[in-house]
Chains A and B, each alone.
Chain A
Amino acid sequence: MNTSVFGAALSRRGFVQAGGALLAGFALAGKRVSADVLNPAKPESWIEIHEDNTILMRTGKSDFGQGTIFTAYRQIVAEELSAPFAAITTVVSGDTDRTPDGGGTFDLLGGGMPNVRKAAAYVYQALLDLASKQLGVAKDQLSVKEGVVSGGGKSVSYGDLVKGQKLNLTIPVKGDLNSMFGLTVDGNPPLKPVSEYSVIGKSFPNSVIVSKVTAKEKWVTDVRLPGMLHARVIHPKSLGSKLVSAGALDKTRFPNSQVVVKGNLVGVVAPTEWEAIKAAQQVAAGTKWTEWKGLPGDQRLFHYFKEDADWKNAPVAAAKTNKGDAAAAIASSPKKMTATYELPFLKHAPIGPTMAVGDVRPDGSVYVYTHTQNPQALRTGIAFMLSTSVDKVVVRTFAGAGHYGRSNGGNAGAEDEAVILSQAVGKPVRVQWMRPDDLQWSTQSSAALSDVRLSLDAQGSLSGYEISHYMPAMQDDRLVGALLAGLPTIPAPNEKGSIFGIANGMNDPWVYDATPAVLERAYGTGQVGQTSSPINVGLRDHSMRTPGQYQQNFPRELAITEAAVLGGKDPLAFRIQHAREKRLLGVLEAVRDNSGWNMRPARGSDGVSRGQGVAVMFRAGTYWACVAHIAVEHKTGVIKVEKITVAVDPGIVINPAQLKRQVEGGAVMGVSMALLEELSFDESGITASDWRSYPILTMADVPEIKVVLVNNSGVGSYGQGSEAANALAAPAIAGALLDATGKVARRLPLKPEYVKTLLA
C-alpha cells in the first residue's frame, strides 16, 4: 500500500501482532527517506497514533515556562485530529535524537501555523483515508468526534484503524534541521474550520506543573552521570583579558581536584561540587590576567552611542509603512517636539545560573545535557567547536530556569565549557556557573537610543512623525567557552558569514494609520567593545523577550503620549483618534473600560501624585494595550506602580488561563525593567555580580494586575507573543509619570534618584 495524502505519503510497512501504530515522519523535498526514519526504536516521528487510542507527539522546541508545548501544542494537535486532549498522553520535546523538527523555542505558534498543526492535519487526512477503506464509506461522508470516525451507520476508533499494522506517513518538510530555524512542514493539508473548534479555547492545565510542584520533575540540575565530575570555570578578569598564568592548585587542600587550561579558559574539576567551588576560589586568587579597558562604562554609554559608535557601516532599515514627507510636514506644522530616548542594557537574569553536563565519550560521540531553547543549533555549534560531524553530537534538554530568549540561538552559557572540560579529563563534567558568572559572562539585551521629531497640526492631530532608532547588534550566538579556549565558533555579528549581521531592523510595526507623514528608520552597529577586545568578547548581546521591539516601542509610545499632552489631549483618546485598525481600537477601548481610566485624573497632594499612562503594541499577530496607574512620592522620587491593566487580542485565544498567567508574569517583568533594571559596567567589564547589584522586582512591589482577554475568533487564527506584556509597562509607567507630575522621563530605569532630579 502506498497512498498520497495531500502531498504526504501513507504506506504500510507490514502487519504486527501487537503495538500497531501510525507514525508520522518527514521527508525533505527531493530526498529519499531512509527506511528506518520511522523505526519506533529510533523515534523521529511527529505524531504517533497507537492502537490503545493514545497519541504521542514530538516537537524540537522546549518548554521555557510558557507551558505552550504541554498545553497549546496539545490542544492544536488534538483539535486538528478531532481527538480528545487527554488522548495525547506523551509530549517528547527538545532532544536532538528524539524530536523531528528543530528550530528555536520562539514564535511557538508560528503565525498561526506551527509545525505541529500541519503535521496533525496530514495525520487526520491519512486516518480518514484508512477509515474510508475500512468502513467502505466515501471520505467526504465521514465525520470524526473524540477520535472515532463515523459514516454510513458504522464507526471505528483511531486505535482500531491502526491495530495490528505498522503504518508510516511521510510528511513533506523544507529547511535545515541543524540551522537556527530548523525544519518547516511544507504543503497545504486541509485544516479544520475554526467554527468547529472545541478543544482550542479551553483552559487545560499545564501537565508539567504537577511534576514540578511535587518535586518529581527531572531538572537539568538533577542530571547525574556515572563518573561525573563537578567543575567551576574561572572567567577572565575583564571582557578583554588574556590569561597570563593560571594559579597553582593547593594539592594538600584539594588532593582530588585538577586544573584544566585551554587558551584563556581555566577550569577546575573535582569529584564533589563543594571541593570544585573551593578549589576554584583558591586557584582564581593566584590566576593572572592582562588588563583591558575597552568599554565606555555605563555612565558614558549614550555619549559613546552619539559620538563614537559607527552607525554608517550597516544598511539602514526603513519601515514599510513610511509615507509622505515627514520632514516637510514637521517644518510646516504649528507645534513641534524633538526628543531623545535612552534604554540601558538588561540581563535575562534567570533565577538559576546556567549549568550543563558535557560527556565526550571515547568513541568520539558527544552528549550535552542542558536547558536550551534551540537544541539543534547548539548541537551544530558544539560540532563546529570540536571540528566533528554533527551526527556525533546529541543534545538533551531538561527543565531549567527560564531565560527569556538567551538561548534561542542554542547556547545558554555553560554547555561548551562542559564539553571542553569533559574532553580534557575524559569524564562527564558538570559545569555550573555561579551568580557572578551568569551576570558577567552571559549575553545582555541591547541598550538603545532613539531620536524623535514630531509635529501637530492646528487641531492637535499628529501631522508628521520621524524616528531614528540606534541599537548595537543583538544576536551573538557564539559559544563563549569556545571563544575563550580559542576553538572555532560561528562568526560574530560584525564578521563575514554572520546570519544576522549588525544591521538593526524595524521591529515595532507602526500602528497610528491616520498620521499623514511618517518616517521610521533603524541604524545598527557592532557590539560595544567586541572588536577592541583581544579575546573578541566585549559586551555580547542577545535577543530577550521582545527583541528590538521593546527598544523601539518605548520611545514611540512615550513620544505619542507626549504628543497628546503637547496638544492638550487625553493620551488614550489621542491613540484612538489616530488608529484605524479595528483590533487595535478594540484593545484600546477594552483597556480604557477595564482600567478605570479617568479622562481628567485628579493630581494628588501631600507630596504624592498619582497618574495614568497607556501604551500599545502589535506583535506576532497580536494587539496589546496597557494602562499603568502609579503614585510618585516627590520627596523621594519613589514610583509605586499601583495597577497594571492589559488588554490582549491574539485572535483566537487557545488557552485563556495559561495566557492570563503568562501576561501577568510579563507585566511584572515589565514593571521590574521600568523601575529597576540597568546593567552596570565599567571600562573593563560588567560590575553587576548579584541580586543587589542587578535588582529585580520583589513581591512587595507587585501591582494589582488585571488581564482582559479579547477572544476574537473572527480573525480565524491565533497570534502569540505573550512576552509583549513585559514591553508595555515601561512606556505606560513613564506616561503615567508625565500625567502625574508634568515631567517626562526619557531614560530608563525610573530609579528614585533620577525621578527626584526630574521633579526638582
Chain B
Amino acid sequence: MNAAREIRMTSFVVNGMKREVQAPTDTPLLYVLRNDLELSGPQFGCGMAQCGACSVLLNGKEVRSCITTLGSVTGKEVTTLEGLSARWAKQKGLSEAEAIHPVQAAWIEEQTPLCGFCQNGMMIKATELLEKNASPTVSEIKEAFTGGISPHLCRCGSYTAIIQAVQRASATMSKRSEA
C-alpha cells in the first residue's frame, strides 16, 4: 500500500476553530497538533498512553492524543491547553481577553510546575474532572489522575502541588457558579 494514497483531508474543530489537515488518517493526533497546527501544549512523553503528557479534551473527555488517530477525530471537537481559557470564557459568557481558565490560574498561584513537561496533561485532566465534579475530594482527585487508561505521571514529584491547585481551582469555579 502506498503511503501517499492513505493521505486524506480530515476536518475537525480545534479550540473552537474548524481545521482541515491533509495527512495519513492513521497519524496520531499528537503529531498533527504539534507539527501541522503548531500547538505547543500537548507533549510527547511515551507514545503508549502511559503518562498523560499528550492529553487533550476530545468532545470534553480527556484522551491521549499519542494513540488517538487523526481519522478518529473527524468532525469532533478538540481542546488543547491553548484553548482552555476560551473554553472557560464561552462556558461563563466572559470576554475572551479577560479570561484565564481557573485551572491555569490556580496552577500559577500554587506555583505547581517544576519542569512542567507533564503539566499540560495535568491541567487537561483537572479541567475534565472539575467540569464533571466542581468540588472533588482528595480521593476523587487521586482517582481522576490515576484511574483511566493510565496514571498521569510527574517525574519531578509535583503531585502535592497538583492536588492543591485542583482544590484552589475548584474553590474559584464553585464560587463562580454560585454567583
Contacts and interface: CB of A to CB of B under 8 A. Distances in A.
Interface of A: 64-67, 205-206, 208-210, 212-215, 217-219, 221-222, 224, 252-255, 272-275, 278, 349-353, 355, 399-402, 404, 432, 434-435, 657-658, 661-662, 664-669, 672, 690-692, 696-700, 702, 705, 726
B155 A696 contact: yes
B161 A661 contact: yes
A219 B160 CA distance: 24
Interface in B146-165: 146, 150-163
Contact of B81 (A215, A275, A666, A700): A215
B23 A274 contact: yes
B27 interface: yes
B45 interface: yes
B44 A352 contact: yes
A691 B153 contact: yes
B157 A350 contact: no
B155 A350 contact: yes
A401 to B, nearest CB: 4
A722 to B, nearest CB: 10
Interface string B47-63: 11011010000000000
A386 B45 CA distance: 30
A400 B53 CA distance: 12
Nearest to B151: A698
A200 to B, nearest CB: 18
Chain B residues touching A, majority SS? loop
Contacts of B112: 209, 213, 661
Contacts of A702: 142, 159-160, 163
Nearest to A204: B111
Given A253-B1, A664-B160, 16 more contacts: A65-B114, A205-B108, A205-B111, A209-B108, A212-B113, A213-B107, A214-B85, A219-B117, A224-B38, A401-B117, A402-B155, A432-B44, A690-B46, A699-B154, A699-B159, A700-B145
Nearest to A399: B116
Interface string B21-39: 0011011100100110011
Contacts of B80: 215
Given A352-B45, A661-B158, A272 B35 contact: yes
A588 to B, nearest CB: 24
Contacts, number: 193
B3 A669 contact: no
B107 to A, nearest CB: 5
B3 A222 contact: no
Nearest to B145: A699
B114 A691 contact: no
Given A213-B107, A353-B44, A66 B114 contact: yes
Given A66-B114, A402-B114, A690-B48, A273 B31 contact: yes
B82 interface: yes
A272 B34 CA distance: 11
Given A252-B2, A699-B145, A702-B160, A65 B44 contact: no
A219 B43 contact: yes
Contact of B161 (A64, A210, A664): A664
A696 B85 CA distance: 31
A254 B141 CA distance: 44
B65 interface: no
Contacts of A401: 43, 45, 115, 117-118, 155
A459 B27 CA distance: 71
Given A349-B155, A697-B157, A699-B146, A212 B162 contact: no
Nearest to B80: A215
21 contacts: A65-B156, A206-B111, A209-B111, A213-B108, A214-B100, A215-B39, A215-B82, A273-B31, A352-B45, A401-B155, A435-B45, A664-B157, A664-B158, A665-B156, A668-B158, A672-B157, A691-B51, A696-B155, A699-B159, A700-B146, A700-B151
A657 B111 contact: yes
Contacts of B41: 215
B71 to A, nearest CB: 12
A213 B27 contact: no
A661 B115 contact: no
B151 A667 contact: no
B170 interface: no
